[in-house]
Chains A and B, each alone.
Chain A
Amino acid sequence: NAGVTQTPKFQVLKTGQSMTLQCAQDMNHNSMYWYRQDPGMGLRLIYYSASEGTTDKGEVPNGYNVSRLNKREFSLRLESAAPSQTSVYFCASSIQTGIYEQYFGPGTRLTVT
């Protein structure tokens, strides 16, 4: 039982490049989330998916797209990376959205030069 896994662990992009961050969970959770964490700051919600087939914007969605591929997988895409998107990205999942305990992945450290 791996919990929440994220790939890659590290990535360096040049401005304007695109990439997709992958997230998968094996806990049969309905809800999944993408956060970003900048140095010295808390986590900010980018997008979440309450259930398979649905996605909703969070606090900072601009510059990102998401896909809930199936119940297990939730991907985050940067179409044209910018230096302001340099951050650590965390994926999380929970049984349902909202008040339920979230289980976080180990994070992806992204640098955009």
Chain B
Amino acid sequence: LAKTTQPISMDSYEGQEVNITCSHNNIATNDYITWYQQFPSQGPRFIIQGYKTKVTNEVASLFIPADRKSSTLSLPRVSLSDTAVYYCLVVSRGDSSYKLIFGSGTRLLVRP
């Protein structure tokens, strides 16, 4: 069962690129990696998902190396509104059930 580890917090400045890494050493062949963003007093919101190599959408990129033991969420040119907690999620499918394991989250503070 994949256990996820993330840095507790990160600081950045407006306009910079931010990379947040999630470690998932025990990831299985069929597991997927998803990232969510959460603002205070709100439910998490989907950002991006991937299986391997690189995925890009309009808000972020996700890099997954060949061994898939980690993944990196990349936020280009952050703004103050990107201040939030970011969670990685590993989704594992068993024979007849699923396991969804969230990381403990990385609190990103973007300064002016």
Contacts and interface: CB of A to CB of B under 8 A. Distances in A.
Interface in B25-47: 32, 34, 36, 41-46
* Among all A-B residue pairs, the 8 with the closest Cβ atoms: A104-B43, A42-B102, A101-B46, A99-B32, A42-B104, A43-B102, A45-B100, A56-B97
B91 A42 contact: no
Main secondary structure on B side of the interface with A: strand
Contacts of A99: 32, 34, 49, 91
Nearest to A57: B97
A98 interface: yes
Given A59-B99, A98-B98, A107-B41, A41 B49 contact: no
Nearest to A101: B46
Interface in B80-112: 87, 91, 93, 97-105
A104 B44 contact: yes
Contact of B43 (A56, A58, A59, A107): A107
A103 B100 CA distance: 14
Given A41-B105, A104-B44, 13 more contacts: A42-B103, A43-B44, A45-B101, A56-B97, A56-B98, A92-B43, A98-B32, A102-B36, A102-B46, A104-B45, A105-B43, A107-B41, A107-B42
Contacts of A41: 104-105
A48 B32 CA distance: 18
